[in-house]
Amino acid sequence: MVALNWRRWIGANTAPAAEQVGGTGARILAVSGEAFGQPRYATDAAAAEAICRAANATVVVAPGTSRPMRILGGVSHRLGGQIDTHVANLQPGPTVTRWYYRQRIEALLDRSHRPWFLAVDSGAFPAYSEPPAAASVESISVELSPRTAVLGKKAPKTGQQTIPPDAKVLFVAGAGWTKKQKDGTVRVRQAAELIIGFVNEAQASLGSSKSLVDLSGAGQDVLPFLSHLNQVGQTGSTPRHPKGLATCCHGEEPHVVGWRFITERRAVNLDANCGWARGKADVLYVADAFEVMMKVNEMLTASRH
């Protein structure tokens, strides 16, 4: 079995990162050099293919994050393999667990075809955290054909990378942030500052309820950094994070089904009878989210200085 891991096995300099997993005693093959530091289809695919060939890989396990996902299908094809994505668990065999029909059906899969490529969903397993140890790395050389030069990055207009899958906390904003508050005012700009302030300070992933992201389509005053990509729930995403905090979100079933893989759930809502209070959250703070998040952000900023 080959585990492909970017920054460890493929990158400009893979040696220090390989040491982080030196304690596993696994055989480590790496492709390194300046050209492999850039996330680019041609070089990433060539490196992954070379590693799989050198190892005579029969089963290839890789993280299902954006960089590997761009190339895994292509690499599998080059090697005559078959691929399954969104793997949620792996057992010896290997047998793979995968969800279907928006997490309503869980299937166990195996395949006789080899090589078999498996892209594992982020957060499905805890990160390896043993101390670093000396690692002997087998360096694989790769012939590169003329390739695209990466000149720089252009971020999307929203500017913020708000959905890091490996974040420890999911912060969900609901439509309440845009509603008239107890002093009779609507405070969308303040809401935006509080939300982005927390997301940046806590390195959190930003989720949203459907009602909040739908407001932009209805032409209302909205939070500029939210899109339907942030929507969590039945018709949105089902992210995986150790903790989640819902704010100004009612906690209705079609939204909360998207929290299936959030381990510890907390919510802030003015309404003591909201959905979170009915067994959907571990802790509900019945409070004004504007006041709570202002205080939380102050404490986070203070702890940094």
Ligand X SMILES: Cc1cc2nc3c(=O)[nH]c(=O)nc-3n(C[C@H](O)[C@H](O)[C@H](O)COP(=O)(O)OP(=O)(O)OC[C@H]3O[C@@H](n4cnc5c(N)ncnc54)[C@H](O)[C@@H]3O)c2cc1C
Q: Which residues bind to ligand X, rule: CB under 6 A?
A: 174-176, 179, 181, 209-212, 231-236, 248-250, 252, 254-255, 258, 268-271, 274, 288-290
Which residue's CB is nearer to ligand X, number 199 or number 232? 232
> d(Cα 32, Cα 7) in Å, to the nearest integer?
10
Given the complex with ligand X, which of 14 and 231 has the nearer CB atom?
A: 231
Nearer to ligand X, 174 or 239 (CB): 174
Shortest Cβ 168–ligand X spacing (Å)? 22
The DSSP secondary structure of 193-217, one letter per residue, reads: HHHHHHHHHHTPEEEE-HHHHHHHH
Residue 243 host element (H or E): strand 240-247
| Smallest separation, CB 126 to ligand X (Å) | 27
Is 43 or 230 the residue whose CB approaches ligand X more closely?
Answer: 230
Shortest Å, Cβ 215 to ligand X: 9
Q: Is there a cis peptide before residue 242, judged by omega within 30 degrees of 0?
A: no
Report d(CA 61, CA 47) in Å as an integer: 15
Task: State the minimum distance, in angstroms, from the CB of residue 283 to ligand X.
Answer: 14
Would you put residue 279 in left (φ > 0), alpha (ψ -120 to 50) or beta?
left
274 or 281: CB nearest ligand X: 274
User: Using CA atoms, how far apart are residues 31 and 8, in angstroms rounded to an integer?
Assistant: 9
Q: How far is the CB of 173 from ligand X (least distance, A)?
A: 8
* 3-state SS class at 186: coil
**Residue 113 and residue 66 in contact, taking contact as beta carbons nearer than 8 Å:** no
Q: How far is the CB of 241 from ligand X (least distance, A)?
A: 16
Nearer to ligand X, 241 or 255 (CB): 255
In the beta sheet, which residues pair with residue 239?
none
CB of 200 to ligand X, least distance (A): 21
Min separation Cβ 220 and ligand X, Å: 12
At 98 the three-state DSSP class reads: strand
Q: How far is CA 2 from CA 55, 59, 157, 163, 172, in A?
A: 7, 6, 38, 28, 36
Q: What's the full length of the chain, in residues?
A: 305
Q: How far is the CA of 96 from the CAs of 61, 72, 124, in angstroms?
A: 11, 17, 12
